[in-house]
Structures are given as C-alpha cells and as structure tokens.
Amino acid sequence: MSTVAQGDRDRASRVTEDNARDRPIDDLIRADHASVKDLWSRYQAAGADIPERRRIANELIREVAVHSVAEELVVYPEIRVLMGDAVVDKLIGDQLEVKRAAYELDKMDVTDPEFTPRLHRIMADLETHMTEEESDELPMLRDRVARDRLVEIGKQFDGIKAMVPTRPHPDAPTQPGLEALVGMMTAPLDKMRDMAREFAERKVK
Ligand SMILES: [Fe+2]
C-alpha cells in the first residue's frame, strides 16, 4: 500500500475514533441503560450456568454502581439548574433505593434462592427510573443544552466513571463535592476487591 493511502486510512480511523468519543451525554446514558438491560436478559438466559450468572451479576452490579455515582456527579447538577431541586432530589432518592438493594445483593451469591427475586425487583425499579430519565430529563437536556456542551459533559461522565467506586455504597453522600471525595477514597478498595471476581463482557457500547 502506498504511503498516501496508508495515511488516508490512518486519518479515517482517527476520525472514526474521535466520533465514537464525541458522544453527547444523553447518548452515553442511554447506552448504559441499554447495557444494564442487556445484562439482565443475559442473566435470565444463562439458566443453570452458575459461573456465567455470577459473572453477569457482577458486571451488572458494577455498571449500576458506577453509572449512578457518575450521573450524580456530572449530570444531575446540570439537570438541577435547568429543572429544579424537586426533580433531581426525586432521581437521587430513587437511585438511593436501588443502591441500598444492590448493596445487599452484592453480599449474596447467585446460588442463594433470594438472589434472583431480589435482582428482579432491582431491575423493575431501575426500568422505571431509566424510562423516566429517557422520556423526561434526557430530551430536556437535548433541547436546552448546546451540543458542544452535551459532548463536554459526556467526556466528564466517561472520565469520572474510571474513578468512582465500583461497588454500591448507599451510605456515601450524594452531593457532588462530598461524593467525589468519598468516591476517591473508596474506589481503590473496591477495585482491589474486584480482583477476586470475574466479570462478564459489556456488549452494548
Ligand atoms: Fe441513569
């Protein structure tokens, strides 16, 4: 291949990668929601394959923990400015219920007869929460915030996801400043505990 053609190809793949990274926040949130739903269907389809169910449940709990804290840190403050305290306080309250239930679930093994019914209830609550965000808050952000800013929030969201705790911590504060601080202290411990676990692959990007 000529150097020029190679150069074109490199440039083309760089552009594709940039496009993949430049995703507005509402798009990234919808992708996270879709991934959690995908993991739940895979969990149900795994049937008697206990190790696979365990890997999927580990990944699902991790995604829910990381997604909710990242949202509280970088997305809810934005929604608070545009839609007011009542809307955001309700979202945080709903997430707190899910965090509490996920915290209890995280201590159980998939072979516990209570595990699947509890996960089922968490998913039902999450479905309601995700539907509400997707029908109310995300379209509002899309309408009222400039696309560049949505992409910028998306980058912050992606960046913060690498730093927040990977296990549910229902007792952690939910105000952005404090939550970030507690998160930075807790995340390394969670990551160490995660080394003893196996995780299913995330398929929704
Ligand atoms: Fe969400």
Dump pLDDT digits (tens) for 34-80.
999 999 999 999 999 999 999 999 999 999 999 999 999 999 999 99
How far is it, in rounded angstroms, from Cα 28 to Cα 81? 20
Average confidence (pLDDT) over 196-201: 96
Centre of ligand 1 from the C-alpha of residue 7, in Å: 40
User: Ligand 1 mean position to 67 CA, how many Å?
Assistant: 7
Q: How far apart are CA 43 and CA 65, in angstroms?
A: 18
Tell me how far the alpha carbon of residue 93 lies from the centroid of ligand 1, in angstroms. Answer: 13
* Positive or negative: CA dihedral 111, 118, 41, 64: negative
Q: What's the gap in Å between 104 CA and the centre of ligand 1?
A: 20
Residue 11 Cα to ligand 1 middle (Å) = 34
Biggest CA–CA distance in the chain, Å, is 62
In Å, how far from its chain's centre is CA 30? 9
- pLDDT recorded at residue 200: 97
Q: Is residue 7 over pLDDT 70?
A: no
**Predicted confidence (pLDDT) per residue in 100-130, tens digit:** 999 999 999 999 999 999 999 999 999 999 9
CA of 68 to the centre of ligand 1 (A): 6
Distance 109 CA to ligand 1 centre (A): 25
Output the pLDDT for position 2.
47
Q: Are the C-beta atoms of 101 and 125 separated by less than 8 Å?
A: yes
Residue 8 has what pLDDT?
A: 52
> 174: CA distance to ligand 1 center in Å?
14
> What is the per-residue pLDDT for 83?
95
Q: Which of 57, 169, 64, 67 is nearest to 119 (CA)?
A: 57
| Å from CA of 58 to ligand 1 middle | 18
Task: Tell how far the Cα of 29 is from the centroid of ligand 1, in angstroms.
Answer: 6
Full-model pTM: 0.88
Average pLDDT over the chain, rounded to an integer: 91
Contacts of 20 (CB under 8 A, 6+ apart): none
Tell me which of 180 and 107 has the higher pLDDT: 107
On the question of pLDDT at 27 being above 80, the answer is: yes
Question: In this predicted structure, what is the pLDDT of residue 179?
Answer: 86
> Band of the pLDDT at 177, cuts 50, 70, 90?
confident
Q: Considering only residues 179 and 48, tell me which one the structure prediction assigns the higher pLDDT.
A: 48
